[in-house]
Each structure stands twice: as structure tokens, then as C-alpha cells.
Amino acid sequence: MKPKQTFLHQFSIFQLILMALMAAFGIAAKPVITPLVHLITGPLFIPGGSIAGGFYMMWLVLGAGLVKKTGAGTLIGLVQALMVIAIGFMGSHGILSIVSYTVPGVAVDFVFLFSRRKQYQLLHYVMGGLAANVTGTMMTNLMFFRLPGVTVLFVLFSAALSGALGGILAYGLIKAMKRIPVLDSFWD
């Protein structure tokens, strides 16, 4: 009798390591990027988290684009949530981090479902980043902030722009990586 295949069995060890790295990069980017963005957005009274989010959501999109398997974004988000909870990371939302970090990964996976044979184009990355950041921003607003309607619309618009930019950066990184000769076998 064959052992039952689990969700994780669809990924190779290399892909699991790659996703763990993307999760770690996303977590590591947050405390660097957020204060820098707050320097610009603070004096303008613009919520900085929604704008900074596009740059650390980029790692979800990049990981899903590299692995090219359904569930990669969700798994990266879940690993990020568990890391944040385990290390008591700055800005942690406690156990609710499981929701606020995983749902954007689900949004990335949903966007990447709309491709032919996992041939992702620039639009997939842009929409993946946009969906991840808008979803993450909306989740944190619903769970913690409960901002007024007009403010939420402005914040979501900012999150959409930032997320789209993060998607463009992820696409550019993947294109650059495809030009590295050592990685030729990875792209087959």
C-alpha cells in the first residue's frame, strides 16, 4: 500500500527551501522598509504600512513565481506567520498573524491560477502583488484598525499601487535570474 501523499509532497526539497528563504526575506525586509517608508508617508499623513507592504509582499509573489505550484504563496505566507509568532517579531498581531500573513499568500495563489501551463507573465506578477497587498491591508484593517470608509478606500488604493510595484519588482528579479547561466537547469 502506498503512503498517502500530503500537500507538502508536491514540492521538492529545493522548492521547500526556496519558499522558506522567500518567507525569511519577506520577514527580514519588513523592519528595514517600513521605517524608511514612514519617513516619507508620516509627514504626509499617509498610512505607511499599506505602501511598505508592496515591497515585502513582493517576496510572496517572487516565491510563487519561482516555484510555479499551486499553494506556494499560501505556504510562504503561513511560514511567515509562524516565524512572526515564534520570534515575537516587531508589529506582531499575535495568533491572528496566521490570518494576516497567510491570506495574502492565498490571494497570490488565486491570481496565479489564471495562467496557461504556469507561464506567468508580467500581469500575473502585478496582479499577484496587488492582490496580496490589498488583501493584507484589508485584513489588518478589519482585524485591528477599523478605519472609516473614505480612509479605507485611500489606504486600499495606496496598497494597490504599492503591491503592483512589488509585483513588477518580482517580475524583474525573475527575468534577471533567468539570465544567470548557473540556474539554466532550474528553469526547465
37-88: per-residue pLDDT in tens?
A: 888 877 876 777 788 888 989 999 999 999 999 999 999 999 999 998 888 7
Q: Residue 73 is placed in which grid cell?
A: 504563496
Q: What is the pLDDT of residue 143?
A: 83
Q: Does some domain include residue 104? A: yes
Least confident of 21-30, 137-146, 171-180: 137-146
* Terminal C-alpha separation, the chain: 32
pTM (2 d.p.): 0.89
Under a CB-based contact definition with an 8 Å cutoff, are residues 133 and 55 in contact? Answer: no
Q: What is the pLDDT of residue 92?
A: 64
Q: Does some domain include residue 61? A: yes
Q: Does some domain include residue 37? A: no
Q: Does some domain include residue 41? A: no
Q: Residue 85 is placed in which grid cell?
A: 509568532
Mean of the per-residue pLDDT values for the chain?
Answer: 87
Q: Does some domain include residue 63? A: yes
Helices 72-87, 48-67: axis angle to 10 degrees equals 130
Q: Does some domain include residue 188? A: no
Q: What is the pLDDT of residue 185?
A: 66
Q: What is the pLDDT of residue 184?
A: 66
Q: What is the pLDDT of residue 186?
A: 67
Q: Does some domain include residue 187? A: no
Q: Which segment, 4-8, 42-46, 51-55, 121-125, is predicted with the most confidence on average? A: 121-125
Question: What is the percent of the chain with per-residue pLDDT over 90, rounded to a whole number?
Answer: 49
Domain count, the chain: 1
> 42 or 138, which is more confident?
138
Q: Does some domain include residue 35? A: no
Under a CB-based contact definition with an 8 Å cutoff, are residues 24 and 62 in contact? Answer: no
The domain that contains 63 carries what CATH number?
Answer: 1.10.1760.20
Structural domain of 113? 13-27+47-179
Question: What is the percent of the chain with per-residue pLDDT over 70, rounded to a whole number?
Answer: 93
